[in-house]
Amino acid sequence: MKLSILAIVGGFAACAAAAPAPTAHVVHEKRETASERWSRRSDIKLNRDALIPMSFGLTQRNLDNGFEFLMDVSHPESKNFGKHWSMDKIADTFAPSTETLEAVKTWLKESGIEDDRLTVAKGRNWVKVELTVGEAESLLRTEYHVYTNTQTGKEHLACSDYSVPAHITEHIDFITPTIQFDATVKQMPKRDLSKRNMKVRPFPIAVRPDAAPQPEVTYSLANCDQYITPDCLRALYDFPNGTLASSSYGIVEYTPNTYLQSDLNVFYANLARQIPSGTGPTVDLIDGATTMGGTKSFDNQGESDLDLQYAIALVYPQKVTLYQNGDSIEGSSFGNFLDAIDSSYCSGDNPTYDAVYPDPASGGYKGAEACGTIKAASVISTSYGYNEADLPASYETRQCNEYMKLGLAGTTFVFSSGDSGVAGNNGDCCTKAKCAGGTYNTGGSGTFNPAFPATCPYITSVGATQIKPNTAVTATAPEEACETVIYSGGGFSNVFAMPSYQSTAVKSYFTSHKPTYTATQYNNSQTVRGYPDVSANGANYVVAVDGALGLVYGTSASAPTFGSIITLINEQRIAAGKSTVGFINPTLYANPSAFNDIVSGGNQGCGTAGFTAVSGWDPVTGLGTPNYAKLLSAFLALP
């Protein structure tokens, strides 16, 4: 009987320094800094016959041309704007070459690993095989060891570096499990994405699901600075109700977060009376997901209720699709969702960060993982995120490239930028420059901690603003950066280079408003991706959760609001016989006058005042908040 590594060491594990590689081999990846969070277990000796599920990420073709391909269908000056690619064309263009696949298979065969042990992904971009510890160490010229997370007690299997033959390096992006440590920062489930970009303050109005309440507060444009409603947002950004039901809008949620239809009904009765009671999203259940949540609580329903109530209210009668991901045992990840909407991405999940299906756990979903079975909406909004430092750069780069491919197919991806200012989730800051080693200083000072996927250059990152106190709501009255309960996430990537579409805006920022911080606080090279791209209101949203109305704050509110505006623009382009907008960043940066510039407020964190909102683009509110009429005009003028 085969025994897994987990059965032998009783948990997860990590690896140590490798012996010098022979001249035919070169180091492919190396952990640059030892993490203080992990302690090597000298008391555990690995059984060399224990099995490790290995994944080899093959180098894809044409990734160096990916940005150019995307600009060809996304840049406002391109004659091919809106001529999006089919998924088959995308898969064929980027699939690893036959030469790459054969080179890796030959290397494995010459190392004693026969073809009948290998599994090749549908898109030819992954090769998977179970290797014994002994085989893996010999193949990669490394040594595996068990390490314990000093904060959580969890164990993990990894190595500090690994080598491959020199001629193989050009054919492999990365191999797992190798140098990666577990992404968990707190004592949370291994793949828990519930570090939501949202916080709540109680708002004591009792509402019964079966009757329209008599609220103590009259919601109107006169008090939007205290209570944000769909009508407030329409007035702020000058956009109408949806009318044509011709486009598609997707909201992504991760188990255990689920919505309650009764909460949607309460919301409609109070704030969106044009929507019939019982109206809900179209639901796509992915990898054993269910919309039947557990205990009613803000933790279980708050995020989903917020996202869906505002998405449905702002675009109705347009279709809103809920992508509910993961079973209640294993959960899910961004990678699992990408598998579901693009079959060419399947089979490359990293079990450290992505859920594994069929779920081996008792009570888990035993069906196969969704692979290209879900249709992507024209706009997809996600209010979840990691810290960049939680994940290996190679993993983030491969996932970011997937958003590039789906942008080529015509999908707009919107992500919230985070709620802790220049700090990461839960206010975590790094103790080392560029977050090397992923060692955090919770709630204190340290290096700024950028978010992912917010820093990926192929998505639109949305920060948060608020209405200035005692200010009337009009489409021309500027807001300020959100500094109530939350602070808009923003800053500069430690992984991704600055894309050309934002270079003028970011260079102008550094020329006119260069921060006084040094490289000790953030990546000040002026060559990396800045975020957010845009912003929208993120304070005082009136939301129905578990039968009662309350106030919610966060970029979790900003992202679905901005996504709704893009969905309404798609509606008008479709009515004009044009395509949906797809990847929008080049057009956004080419039309800064289509935004309300935000010039006050900041995003403090890590023991500093953070960055400051200034004239033009800034790493607090991006280009500013949208002016729908001007954005619509810009997009309707394109082919």
Span 43-79, pLDDT tens digits: 888 888 888 888 898 999 999 999 999 999 999 999 9
Q: Could you tell me if 160 and 211 lie in one domain?
A: no
CA distance 30 to 160: 6
pLDDT of amino acid 275: 97
Residue positions annotated with a catalytic role? 303, 307, 556
Tell me the Ramachandran region of residue 542: left when phi exceeds 0, alpha when psi lies from -120 to 50, beta otherwise.
Answer: beta
- Choose one of 127, 161, 176: the last residue of a domain: 176
- Asked if residue 268 belongs to a domain, the reply is yes
Q: Could you tell me if 590 and 480 lie in one domain?
A: yes
Mean of pLDDT values over 502-526? 96
Task: Calculate the alpha carbon distances from 93 to 61, 83, 119, 318 in Å.
Answer: 7, 16, 22, 33
Q: Could you tell me if 150 and 295 lie in one domain?
A: no
- Asked if residue 445 belongs to a domain, the reply is yes
- Asked if residue 90 belongs to a domain, the reply is no
Q: Could you tell me if 364 and 292 lie in one domain?
A: yes
- Asked if residue 70 belongs to a domain, the reply is no
* Domain tally, the chain: 2
Q: Could you tell me if 464 and 340 lie in one domain?
A: yes
- Asked if residue 66 belongs to a domain, the reply is no
Q: Could you tell me if 471 and 371 lie in one domain?
A: yes
Mean of pLDDT values over 471-480? 80
CA distance 434 to 388: 10
Within the chain, how many helices (H) and strands (E) appear?
14, 29
Q: Could you tell me if 102 and 232 lie in one domain?
A: no
Q: How do residues 361-384 score in pLDDT, each as one tens digit? A: 888 999 999 999 999 999 999 999
The crossing angle, in degrees rounded to 10, of helices 628-636 and 555-575 is 40
- Asked if residue 555 belongs to a domain, the reply is yes
Cα torsion at 368, 372, 373, 376 (round to 10°)?
140
Q: Could you tell me if 494 and 401 lie in one domain?
A: yes
- Asked if residue 83 belongs to a domain, the reply is no
Mean of pLDDT values over 17-38? 66
Task: Output the known binding site.
Answer: 597-598, 616, 618
Confidence of residue 545 (pLDDT cuts 50, 70, 90): very high
Mean of pLDDT values over 496-501? 98
Is 270 or 244 the better-scoring residue by pLDDT?
A: 270
Mean of pLDDT values over 531-554? 95
Cβ–Cβ < 8 Å for 550, 610 = no
Domain extent for 142 = 5-60+95-176
pLDDT > 90? residue 18: no
CATH number, residue 261: 3.40.50.200
Q: Could you tell me if 127 and 222 lie in one domain?
A: no
Q: Could you tell me if 233 and 284 lie in one domain?
A: yes
Q: Could you tell me if 133 and 237 lie in one domain?
A: no
- Choose one of 143, 176, 209: the last residue of a domain: 176
Task: Output the known binding site for Ca(2+).
Answer: 597-598, 616, 618
Half-sphere exposure of 299 (CA within 13 A, CB side): 7
Please tell me whether residue 282 adopts helix, strand or coil conformation: strand
- pTM listed for this prediction: 0.87
Confidence of residue 231 (pLDDT cuts 50, 70, 90): very high
Q: How do residues 291-346 score in pLDDT, each as one tens digit? A: 875 678 888 899 999 999 999 999 999 999 999 999 988 889 999 999 999 988 88
- Asked if residue 181 belongs to a domain, the reply is no
pLDDT of amino acid 436: 64
Q: Could you tell me if 172 and 203 lie in one domain?
A: no
Task: State the chain's mean pLDDT as an integer.
Answer: 87
Tell me the residue ranges of DSSP E strands in 18-160: 25-30, 38-40, 51-58, 119-120, 126-132, 143-149, 155-158
Confidence of residue 531 (pLDDT cuts 50, 70, 90): very high
- Choose one of 124, 141, 176: the last residue of a domain: 176
